[in-house]
Amino acid sequence: MQEDIDQDEFITPFFPDGRIGFPTYILVDREGKEVARGKAAALAAAKKGAE
């Protein structure tokens, strides 16, 4: 039988300040302007820029 895990005990070593975010892709240009957001859009924009 699996025992319940204390959420704080599990999360704290990875997020000591208590904030949890969701990973995302954000592609920015050299000036820091957002070019694309999201994995598919960022990868497409990066591929287009490499051509």
DSSP state of 51: -
Residue 44 exposure: Cα atoms within 13 Å on the Cβ side: 6
Asked if the structure places residue 14 within a domain, the reply is: no
Asked if the structure places residue 5 within a domain, the reply is: no
Asked if the structure places residue 15 within a domain, the reply is: no
Domain count of the fold of the chain: 1
Asked if the structure places residue 16 within a domain, the reply is: no
The whole-number pLDDT of residue 9 equals 62
pTM across the whole model: 0.51
DSSP state of 22: -
Residues with Cβ within 8 Å of 28's Cβ and at least 6 positions away in sequence, in order, are: 34, 35
Q: Which domain holds residue 45?
A: 23-51
pLDDT, tens only, 13-49:
666 666 666 778 899 999 999 999 999 999 899 898 8
Asked if the structure places residue 6 within a domain, the reply is: no
- Give the rounded distance of the alpha carbon of 20 from its chain centre: 10
